[in-house]
Amino acid sequence: MKQDLYAIYSIWLREMLRFFRLKSRLVGSVASPFFFLVFLGMGFGTAAAMPGISQGAGYVSFLTPGIIGMTLLFSSTFAGLSVLWDREFGFLKEIMVAPVSRLAIVLGRTAGGVTTAIIQAMIILLSGIILGMKAPGLQGLLLSLVFMVLIASTFIGLGLAFASKMKDMSGFSLIMNFLIFPLFFLSGALYPLDRFPDTVRYLAYLNPLTYGVDGLRYSLIGTNAISPIADLAVLAVSCVVMLFLGAYLFENTEVK
């Protein structure tokens, strides 16, 4: 038990050190969401009257939770890329043969991925406030952190599941791009859900990120299209399922 806890902490610390030492990774991971926020927010700044956006909530305020969801999605799914990177350079083999459970390895990677994703999300939140979004209260901020953890954990599980069955880093990146852009555009991050055609809206309701973005909007700006309890429940179930799937596939992966 003590060895597993130390392993979790060590893997988390390694992810933190690698994140802060690679300045280009930090800048690159927030640059794209930041430009989405700035240019879309400025370009559609007069869309406050858009159906589905509550009166008094400008488009920047509406958009910021969606871009936070985008940041969490991109950062979390590509956390699986570090598994392939470690496999390529032999580090994964070393930790897999260590006297610790594979579940501890998964938890350490998940903790590291969640922490880095939330750091990036908070940078985007601060950017949204600078651009005109009203700062959330303490209760809303704490609730948004709960949603951030659930979103990040859900898609880290997805990334681990794919990384456990793949060996090619470029192939992983292509498949993740193929998946995450539909997930992002179907989440209601850019537009209210009620502006989607009925068929597309039904697909959006199958997307876990939809509930995460809606929960973030409720937490940060007080507007929502779905019940916050439903958001929390669906996202919690998705988180458990994806982490279980990722952990199961990772525990059964072979490293040569």
CA distance 222 to 62: 10
Report domain extents, the chain: 2-251
Answer yes or no: pTM beyond 0.85.
yes
53 pLDDT tier (thresholds 50, 70, 90): low
3-class SS at 235?
helix
CA distance 239 to 242: 5
Question: What is the chain's mean pLDDT, rounded?
Answer: 81
**Number of neighbours of residue 177 by Cβ within 10 angstroms:** 12
pLDDT digits (tens, 9 = 90+) for 124-145: 898 888 888 888 889 999 999 9
pLDDT digits (tens, 9 = 90+) for 83-101: 777 766 666 666 666 677 7
CB 242 within 8 A of CB 154: yes
Chain-centre distance of CA 122, in angstroms? Answer: 12
The residue ranges of DSSP E strands in the chain, in sequence order, are: none
CA distance 198 to 162: 31
Question: Which of 151, 144, 78 lies closest to 109, judged by CA?
Answer: 78
